Amino acid sequence: MWLTIPNLLTLVRIVMTPYILVQLARGHYMIAGWTFGAAAWTDVFDGLLARRFGAQSEFGQYLDPIADKILLTSLYIGLALGGAVPVWIVVLILGRDVWILLLSAIALRFTKFRELQPSRWGKASTFFQIMAAVCVIGARAYQSDWFLRISDVLIAGVVVLAGISGLDYSLRGVRYFRAPRAAPATNFPRESSPESASDAKPR
C-alpha cells in the first residue's frame, strides 16, 4: 500500500517546494527559510513514522529521495533567480546531476548491475549543497555578515565537491566496464535524490 502517512508527508514536501522556489526568486528569504525548515521536518518525521509503525513501502523508498532532490534543486534555482547565488553554480550542480543520471541509465540499460550506491564524495557534495543553501538564505534573511562569510566558504566547497564527485562517478563507471563481468569492481549511483535510495528512509 502506497498511501501511508509517511508517504503523505513526503508528498506534502513536494507540494511545498514550488512555493519555496517562488519566495526565494522574489527575495522573500525569511518566509522561504522557515517554509524550507518545515519541509525539512517532514523529511525527518516521515522516516521516524515509517520505522516506528512499520509503514514501509517500495513506493516510499523511491519517492523520498526524489522529493529531496526536487527540493534541493529548487532551492538553488530559486536562489539564482533571486540573485543570491551565481547562475553558473546552479548550472554546475544540475550538470553534475544530469551526468550521474546518464551514467545510471547506461548501467541499467546495458548491464546487469543494479547496486546503485552513492559514493562518499556524492554524499559530501549533497551535504555541502544543503548547508550552503541554508547559510545563503540565513545571510539574506537576517542580513548577517557571519552567515555570509560561512556561505562563501560552503559555496566554494559545493563547486569543488561537484567536480570531484562527478569525476569519481565517471572513473567508477570506467573501472566497472573494464572489470571482468564475473567480479564487478564498482558501483554506479542513482541520483533521484539526496544521494540515493540507500540513504532513504524506509516506507
Which domain CATH number covers 83?
A: 1.20.120.1760
User: Can you give the pLDDT at residue 203?
Assistant: 52
Report, as ranges of residue numbers, the positions in the chain whose pLDDT lies below 70. Answer: 1-2, 54-55, 112-116, 179-203
Percent of residues in the chain assigned helix, strand, coil, to nearest 5? 75, 0, 25
User: Can you give the pLDDT at residue 150?
Assistant: 96
For residue 134, tell me if it sits in a domain: yes
Domain holding 52, by residue range, is 5-178
- pTM value? 0.80
Q: How many structural domains are present in the chain?
A: 1
User: Can you give the pLDDT at residue 116?
Assistant: 62
For residue 196, tell me if it sits in a domain: no
DSSP state of 11: H
For residue 54, tell me if it sits in a domain: yes
Q: Which of 36, 31, 64, 60 is nearest to 141 (CA)?
A: 31
User: Can you give the pLDDT at residue 140?
Assistant: 95
Query: Is the Cβ–Cβ distance between 115 and 108 less than 8 Å?
Result: no
Q: Which of 131, 138, 130 is nearest to 29 (CA)?
A: 138
User: Can you give the pLDDT at residue 192?
Assistant: 47
For residue 25, tell me if it sits in a domain: yes
User: Can you give the pLDDT at residue 196?
Assistant: 47
Report how far residue 59's alpha carbon sits from residue 195's, in angstroms, rounded to the nearest whole number: 17
Please give the grid coordinates belonging to residue 175.
Answer: 573501472
Segment holding 178, helix H or strand E: helix 145-178
User: Can you give the pLDDT at residue 57?
Assistant: 74
Report how far residue 176's alpha carbon sits from residue 174's, in angstroms, rounded to the nearest whole number: 5
Report how far residue 76's alpha carbon sits from residue 176's, in angstroms, rounded to the nearest whole number: 32
For residue 202, tell me if it sits in a domain: no
User: Can you give the pLDDT at residue 43?
Assistant: 85
User: Can you give the pLDDT at residue 189?
Assistant: 52
